[in-house]
Amino acid sequence: MGENLTISEHIYNNTLFGDKCEFSGFGALTEFFSAVPEDVQKQWPFDFSDKGYRTSYEQALIVPEQMGFVRRLHLRAQIANAEESFFVSRKIWFDDGRLIFVHDSLCREKGAGGTNFAGLLMTRTQDFLRSYDKTRKIRYKNEHSEILVQARSIPKGKMPVFGGYIWANQGFDFQNKSDLPRFRSIFKQFLAGYGVSMDAGDLKKFTKPCHFAAFGCGIGARDGEGRPVHLGKAFLLEQTWFGRWSTDKPDAEEKRYARLYNRPDILPSSRRRTAIAALGESYRKLLHKYYKRYAPKRRSVSKMEVYRRFAQRQWNHLINGGRN
């Protein structure tokens, strides 16, 4: 931690003042984090001073919920340097000793992409929770500290929000596995719009968000700003899903993927290709198969053409009485 302060000290040394700013007292914040040892508090993931960023808090408000049985810290801050600035919003609480971070949003206010600030933020948060859990006696699987995220897309023209694609690269699993069949079905329809046919057996190899994020077969797509992207990214930029990261199972496939993706010594354009090495052999074989099948075509399909094809399929489905 750059400034070597406790959490409440860091918040109160870096507060903003204004009509929209809300803060609990210094003593209340100190008591809220009293279960976190001081040496762990000095790893507070909102402190990026060692990377040249200044954190300015707009909100650090403890809110009683569930008739006062649960207290949650609502935290909102701006993190900025001379080139870029971000707004981060989170809720934090303790549940029978474990620490839960709910990541509400990360928005880029200023600056270009490519710095992987989202990776830096999540890596520090994950390291903080691991350090905290090492100070506790964990007996059961559901006692590990965790991060919950709603990875959502954002309408074009709004402030850029780090959503569906970014968090799929940061070690998250689906919060509810029952969402997976629906997600696969939407993905299959999406691929069909680009002329890519995927059977049920191959779809079953997509079990983690990073599998969708990593998928590419040589056919290009465009994001909302018209920039070329691979199909997995184009798909996730339009999706909303709920993710969970826990200190349990540190060598899980999605966490290995994130570690390679966030390596500071690789170029942004190489992150995905580098991280794919962490994925299972069956998935890597699937990628090879689809690249071999579709890459020679090397075509880029416009979003308008994708929508036209999708509308045509829906119309055919309707006039055929709901039969595929």
Across all residues in the chain, what is the average pLDDT?
88
Which pLDDT value is given to residue 300? 52
Amino acid at 219: I
Which pLDDT value is given to residue 224? 75
Which pLDDT value is given to residue 99? 97
Which pLDDT value is given to residue 299? 55
Using alpha carbons only, what angle is made at residue 190 by residues 188 and 194, rounded to the nearest 5 degrees? 110
Give the model's confidence band at 17: pLDDT under 50 very low, under 70 low, under 90 confident, else very high: confident
pLDDT tens-place string over residues 160-194: 456 789 999 999 999 999 989 999 999 999 999 99
d(Cα 109, Cα 96) in Å, to the nearest integer?
Answer: 36
Residue 56 or residue 319, greater confidence = 56
Which pLDDT value is given to residue 159? 45
Q: Is the pLDDT of residue 38 over 80?
A: yes
Average pLDDT over residues 289-313: 70
Give the model's confidence band at 306: pLDDT under 50 very low, under 70 low, under 90 confident, else very high: low
Average pLDDT over residues 241-251: 95
Q: Is the pLDDT of residue 323 over 50?
A: no
Helix then strand then coil, % of the chain, to nearest 5: 40, 20, 35
Average pLDDT over residues 247-254: 96
d(Cα 271, Cα 233) in Å, to the nearest integer?
Answer: 13
d(Cα 173, Cα 252) in Å, to the nearest integer?
Answer: 10
Give the model's confidence band at 324: pLDDT under 50 very low, under 70 low, under 90 confident, else very high: very low
Amino acid at 307: Y
Which pLDDT value is given to residue 322? 47
The model carries a pTM of 0.86
Which pLDDT value is given to residue 294? 93
pLDDT tens-place string over residues 82-127: 999 999 999 999 999 999 999 998 988 888 766 789 999 999 999 9
Q: In the chain, pLDDT over 70 holds for what percent of residues?
A: 86
Q: Which of 102, 106, 117, 105 is nearest to 262 (CA)?
A: 117
70, 48 Cβ separation under 8 angstroms: no
Q: How is residue 30 written in tokens?
A: 């100190």
Q: Is the pLDDT of residue 287 over 90?
A: yes
Amino acid at 101: F
Torsion angle, alpha carbons of 282, 288, 291, 294, to 10? -70
